[in-house]
Copies of this chain bind each other. A is one copy, B any other.
Amino acid sequence: MGSKTREMILKAARKAFSAHSYADVSMEDIAALAKVRKSLIYYYFPSKEDLFKEAWDEAFHELEDRVFGISEEDGKYMKKVKRFLRSYIDFLRNDRQSLRLIEREKTRFYSEKSQNWQHIKNKYDVFVQKVAGVISSETGKPAAEYARALTDIVGSSALLPEGQMSPDTIELIITKSIEH
């Protein structure tokens, strides 16, 4: 059940977690952003970790929908990889905040062992595998490492301040390095 207050909290969490690292965001920060007392957050979410997980999941599903949910109709005359890359970069352009949230704690996946963090890590890994699938379906070659590099460069550019590295540049670099 998505109560209005719950939504507000989740929205505030997404904003906070995309602007600062997990450790640097306190529950008080989120409460203040959502204009709510801290204790109320615990009425809707069992813990900080769970709140983060839900915020991350939300942002991540938006990314997945955007990048893999493109109907076959769209860009009929565009190659699969190009079409994919275009929507990925568009996501960077239009939903930078979500991408930030997704990317910010990437290194934590590998040190934290709790359920929530492993859940996130697994989802991300599957995503990278899917990206590799798209690429190798066109090049015919395995692309696991290449997909990792691709998601990494798009992701890290999202964490940079706006204007420091334009999505166009990213697209150019990736396109160049992918063709033949």
Which A residues are closer than 8 A to B by beta carbons? 19-21, 23-24, 104, 106-108, 110-111, 145-146, 148-149, 152-153, 155-157, 159-161, 164-166, 169-170, 172-174, 176-177
Secondary structure type dominating chain A contacts: helix
Some 8 contacts from A to B, beta carbons below 8 A apart, are: A106-B159, A148-B160, A149-B153, A152-B157, A152-B160, A153-B153, A172-B177, A176-B176
The complex places the Cα of A103 from the Cα of B57 at a distance, in Å, of 26
Check A104 against B107 for contact (C-beta < 8 Å): yes
Query: A121 vs B140: C-alpha distance in the bound complex, in angstroms?
Result: 42
A152 to B156, CA, bound (A): 7
Instruction: Considering the complex, give the chain B residue whose CB is closest to the CB of A169.
Output: B145
Give A147's nearest chain B residue, CB to CB. B165
> What residues of B have a CB within 8 angstroms of the CB of A159 in the complex?
106-107
**B169, A173: Cβ atoms under 8 Å?**
no
Q: Which residues of B contact A24 (CB under 8 A)?
A: 23
